[in-house]
Amino acid sequence: MIEQRILYDNFTDDPFKNQRFTDETKGALPVLQWAYETYGNSVVYACSFGAEGIVLVDLIAKVQPEATIVFLDTGVHFKETYELIEKVKIKYPSLNIQLKKPKLTLEEQAKKYGPELWKTEPDLCCFLRKIRPLEEVLYGVPAWISGLRREQSPSRKNTDFVNKDERFKSIKICPLIYWTWEDVWSYIRQNELPYNILHDQGYPSIGCEPCTLPVTDPNNQRAGRWAGFNKIECGLHTPAN
C-alpha cells in the first residue's frame, strides 16, 4: 500500500518497482487508478494521439471520464491527426480535451528565427512549439501521464511506472511501459478504437508533418522522426540541460 502522496520533492523510487502485474493491461489500469486516486483531477495526460495515446485515452476514460487531456498543437501536425482528435472528442464527450498552442504563431516564429525553423534548428523548434507550451501546462501540476513504452527506443528502456521528471519538476506516470507494439494494436482492434490512418501507411510514430517520414525498418519505430538529424526525441522526455 502506498501511503505517502508522491511529489517531485519527496520522490525516492517508483512505488510499483517490485510489483509484477498479471492483469491483461500489464499494470496500466491499476497504475492509472492509483494516479487518479492520488492526484485527482490535477493529473494531466499529455497526449500525442498516436497508437499508444489512443489506448491510454480509452483506459483513462474508464478510470476518470472527465480527465484532462492536452495535445500540444504545434500548428504543423498532419491533417489526419486533427481529424482523429475530432473523432476522439465525439467518442469520449466527457473528457476535457485541450489543444495547447505555442505563444508564437508560425508567422511570428518565422519572422524571429527564420522560415521553416524545423529544417535548420529542430531542437529550437521543438522547444518553442512543444516544450515551452508543456511547461506552461504543467506549471504547478503535481503529476502528468505519458504513453512511453520501454521497447520504443534505447532512451526509453529504463522508464518506470512512476518517474521523477527533472524536465518539468513533476511526477511522470507511464502506464504502458511493459506493452509491446503488438499489445497496443491488439487492444485497439479488440476495442474497435479510432486511430490515425497514417499508421496504416508506414508511420508507427507520428509527430509534426515536416519532421515525420514513413519507416521501412519495423525494429526502429522512431527512425522516421527528424530524418537527417542526430535527433530521436523532441525533448519532452529528456532532462533539461
Selecting among 134, 145, 188, 234, the annotated active-site residue is 234
Confirm whether residue 208 is marked as ligand binding.
yes
126 is in an annotated binding site: yes
Q: Let me know: does 54 contact 42? Beta carbons within 8 Å.
A: no
* One-letter identity of residue 83: E
Please give the Cα distance from 104 to 114 (Å, whole number).
13
Q: Quick one: how far is CA 105 from the chain centroid?
A: 22
- The verdict on whether 47 is a catalytic residue reads no
What is the DSSP-derived secondary structure letter of residue 75?
A: S
11-45: string of b/e by CB count within 10 Å (b at 16+)?
eeebbbeeeeeeeebbbbbbbbebbbebbeeebbb
Q: Does the annotation list 47 as a binding residue?
A: no
- At position 144, the amino acid (one-letter code) is W
- Residue 211 assigned as binding residue: yes
Query: Integer distance in angstroms from the first to the last C-alpha of the chain?
Result: 35
- Any idea which residues carry the catalytic annotation? 234
> Which residue numbers belong to the known binding site for [4Fe-4S] cluster?
125-126, 208, 211
